Amino acid sequence: MTDRPETLLDLPLGTPGAGRIRYGAAMALYQQGKLSPAELEAWRIAAASDSRPADEVLAAHGLPAPPRQSPDAAATLSRLMEEAGAYLAPLHCPGAAELRRVLARRSPAALQPAAQGLPVVTAHLAAALAALAATHPALSAAIAASAPHLGWRVYDRYPPEEIGIAFATGHAFCPLLGPDAPFAEETAEFGLFLIAPHVLYRDHCHAAPELYLPLTGPHGWRFGPDRPLIVKPAHRPVWNDPHRPHLTKVGPTPFLGFYGWTGDIDEPARVLPATDWPQLEALRLMAEP
């Protein structure tokens, strides 16, 4: 996490401690000569609220909002990729080094996909970002700032009757790097993955080696049909070798994570039947203490 002050000024509303974090970012900008004393005082007053828009708080005190840059789509998406790289940098799990190499060789953003307002994104992305902001505010803010430029879509290569309607309508993914993504890459794919609370992503497998970087939690995993569920917290990477069976059960917080496929990205995933899906669909994981 790089905690760039300009990024932290735009934390999602309701982020715990957002007012304090914004004021800290404003102090850093003031020390760099980028804010006047009056502008710094305005952000100090705004620090009293985490959930109200800063501009609204400032206006209530008769103060103008400090001017902020409005970067273009390419710059905003590049910033998100920088934050993703910073998140990935210290990890030593399988697949991390290869994914770092893929991200390092990316070219400048050449495609800015039209934003797609999928219902699952509208309903659950803000809650996931609020949870992420508690530990990684700069990354959360970078995703939020990029939201108008993200081309969310659903994975429609599963037969709905096999993967289940709850997952088919309760997930979305957004390639950031790949064949049809802002950062062009022919042999790998990296992006964001969102699943609604309590949804079961049934047992499946695929040829692509896959690294999940879950940004929220808790969530359950297993690595073979009818095997026990393993509950994992946020920020615990999950590596899947090619054709390794895996399943995800989302907890009360929406699942938000990065995914990386580093080969065989055109091969479709397939569902692996299991006998206990009804019980897992009904299961409710507990929130982390």
List the domains of the chain with CATH numbers. Answer: 5-60 (no CATH), 73-282 (2.60.120.10)
Q: What integer pLDDT is reported at residue 220 of this predicted model? A: 98
C-alpha dist (Å) from residue 78 to 40, 215, 237: 28, 19, 23
Higher pLDDT, 152 or 74: 152
Predicted confidence (pLDDT) at residue 66 exceeds the cutoff of 90 = no
Asked if 63 and 42 touch (Cβ cutoff 8 Å), the reply is yes
C-alpha dist (Å) from residue 103 to 82, 145, 224: 9, 20, 30
- Report the C-alpha gap between 256 and 12 in whole angstroms: 15
Q: What integer pLDDT is reported at residue 17 of this predicted model? A: 78
* Among the ranges given (56-70, 114-128, 138-152), the one the predictor scored with the smallest mean pLDDT: 56-70
Phi-psi region of 121 (alpha: psi -120 to 50; beta: other; left: phi over 0): alpha
* Among the ranges given (44-48, 76-80, 234-238, 271-275), the one the predictor scored with the smallest mean pLDDT: 44-48
- Report the C-alpha gap between 277 and 283 in whole angstroms: 10
Q: What integer pLDDT is reported at residue 57 of this predicted model? A: 72
Higher pLDDT, 203 or 64: 203
Asked if 272 and 204 touch (Cβ cutoff 8 Å), the reply is yes
Q: What integer pLDDT is reported at residue 200 of this predicted model? A: 98
Pick from 213, 95, 120: nearest CA to 171: 120
Strands (E) across the chain are located at: 171-178, 183-184, 189-195, 200-205, 210-214, 219-222, 230-232, 238-240, 246-250, 255-261, 270-271
Q: What integer pLDDT is reported at residue 289 of this predicted model? A: 52
The predicted model gives 166-187 an average pLDDT of: 94
pLDDT tier, 287 (very low <50, low <70, confident <90, very high otherwise): confident
* Among the ranges given (12-16, 78-82, 89-93, 240-244), the one the predictor scored with the smallest mean pLDDT: 12-16
Other CB atoms within 10 A of residue 258 CB = 20
